[in-house]
């Protein structure tokens, strides 16, 4: 007996396959949003585009991104001028951060007290990314900012920079900050201590020891204890290990059990 599915009529098939529908043409990128021509420019033209007041936000944004790869000293100040722009500040930082020229650090430090809110926070993160030790003092003051996000960002940045001065600033902040900034400062101390292990081991261990206090966030305290346990002196064993006895020990010729192999 056939099922209802089997009794359905199968439509007749023609010899030729049905043609596939034509693929619609790819949409064209509007000229004002075409990044490819900008991406092909050399550094000189890119800098000129960033400087040009007639350039659009899109053009300047793409120019800054490309300058992160090809930009030199001449690109620093034109991008630094955009750090206060609410739309282009992040693109300017993106273009400046990988630039090896020291003037980038000077520009970030100069912009730090002039900015507020998210723009200032972005520059704080960029300073930490570049590990600029000259900014530690200014960042240390911002750890006590009334905005906890700015304060936390400053503490994290100091921890990323590391060094002896950073350790002092963060240890002082541990005594004067409260939640929600205090846990960030504690984690920054942990990071700073790690950076000191190769150059100032004794100082690093001192910071780790302070982070084992029960007043510290538990993850920080446990991490510090783990480091101290791993770097502490090995215990001295006063008791000698007793050599095994018995038939199995007598038969052993490997020397592993402390017996000299019999010749």
Residue 56: phi and psi, rounded to 5, are -80, 165
Going by C-alpha positions, the residue among 39, 48, 92 that lies closest to residue 70 is 39
Average pLDDT over residues 52-80: 97
Buried b (16+ CB within 10 A) or exposed e, 231-259: eeeeeeeeeeeeeeeeeeeeebeeeeeee
Q: Residue 263 pLDDT > 80, yes or no?
A: no
How far apart, in whole angstroms, are the C-alpha atoms of residue 5 and residue 208? 75
Answer whether 228's CB lies under 8 Å from 212's CB: yes
Q: Residue 259 pLDDT > 60, yes or no?
A: no
Residues 88 and 137 both lie in one domain? no
Q: What pLDDT does 20 receive?
A: 82
Residues 123 and 224 both lie in one domain? yes
How far apart, in whole angstroms, are the C-alpha atoms of residue 192 and residue 206? 12
Helices and strands of the chain, counted as H and E runs: 15, 0
Q: Which residues contact 140 (CB under 8 A, 6 or more apart)?
A: 154, 158, 169, 172, 173
Q: What pLDDT does 25 receive?
A: 84
Q: How confident is the model at residue 5 (pLDDT cuts 50, 70, 90)?
A: low
Is residue 218 domain-resident? yes
Is residue 240 domain-resident? no
Last residue of a domain, one of 101, 135, 154: 101
Answer whether 88's CB lies under 8 Å from 99's CB: no
CA 247, 249, 254, 259 torsion: positive or negative? Answer: negative
What dihedral do alpha carbons 103, 109, 114, 115 form, nearest 10°? 100
Is residue 128 domain-resident? yes
Residues 123 and 81 both lie in one domain? no
Q: What pLDDT does 252 receive?
A: 67
How far apart, in whole angstroms, are the C-alpha atoms of residue 177 and residue 154? 13
Residues 123 and 189 both lie in one domain? yes
Going by C-alpha positions, the residue among 2, 7, 73 that lies closest to residue 44 is 73
Going by C-alpha positions, the residue among 32, 33, 68, 31 that lies closest to residue 47 is 68
pTM surpassing 0.85? no
Answer whether 99's CB lies under 8 Å from 76's CB: yes
Q: Which range has the worst mean pLDDT, 77-81, 152-156, 208-212, 251-255?
A: 251-255
Domain with residue 147: its CATH number is: 1.25.10.10
Is residue 221 domain-resident? yes
Residues 147 and 198 both lie in one domain? yes
* pLDDT: which is higher, 244 or 152: 152
Is residue 166 domain-resident? yes
Residues 51 and 82 both lie in one domain? yes
Tens digits of residue pLDDT in 176-235: 999 999 999 999 999 999 999 999 999 999 999 999 999 999 999 999 999 999 887 655
Residues 155 and 223 both lie in one domain? yes
Is residue 38 domain-resident? yes
Residues 208 and 123 both lie in one domain? yes
Residues 163 and 61 both lie in one domain? no
Residues 40 and 87 both lie in one domain? yes
Residues 127 and 201 both lie in one domain? yes
Is residue 23 domain-resident? no
Residue-number span of the structural domain to which 75 is assigned: 32-101
Q: Which helix (H) or strand (E) holds 76?
A: helix 76-80
How many domains is the chain built from? 2
Residues 89 and 124 both lie in one domain? no
Is residue 107 domain-resident? no
């Amino acid at each position: 007996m056939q099922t209802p599915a089997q009794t359905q009529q199968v439509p007749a098939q023609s010899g030729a396959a049905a043609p596939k529908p034509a693929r619609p043409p790819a949409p064209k990128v509007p000229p004002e949003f075409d990044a490819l021509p900008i991406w092909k420019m050399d550094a000189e033209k890119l800098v000129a585009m960033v400087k040009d007041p007639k350039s659009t936000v899109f053009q300047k944004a793409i120019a800054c991104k490309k300058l992160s790869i090809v930009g030199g000293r001449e690109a620093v100040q034109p991008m630094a001028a955009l750090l206060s722009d609410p739309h282009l500040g992040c693109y300017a930082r993106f273009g400046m951060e990988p630039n090896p020229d020291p003037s980038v650090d000077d520009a970030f430090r100069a912009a730090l007290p002039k900015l507020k809110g998210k723009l200032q926070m972005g520059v704080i993160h960029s300073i930490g990314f570049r590990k600029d030790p000259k900014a530690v003092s200014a960042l240390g003051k911002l750890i006590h900012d009334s905005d906890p996000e700015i304060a936390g960002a400053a503490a994290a940045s100091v921890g990323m920079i590391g060094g002896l001065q950073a350790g002092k600033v963060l240890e002082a902040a541990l005594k004067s900050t409260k939640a929600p900034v205090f846990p960030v400062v504690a984690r920054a101390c942990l990071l700073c201590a790690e950076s000191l292990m190769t150059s100032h081991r004794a100082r690093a261990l001192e910071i780790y020891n302070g982070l084992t206090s029960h007043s510290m966030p538990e993850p920080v305290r446990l991490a510090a204890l783990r480091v101290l346990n791993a770097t502490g002196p090995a215990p001295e064993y006063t008791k000698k290990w007793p050599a095994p006895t018995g038939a199995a020990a007598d038969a052993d010729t490997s020397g592993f059990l402390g017996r000299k192999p019999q010749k």
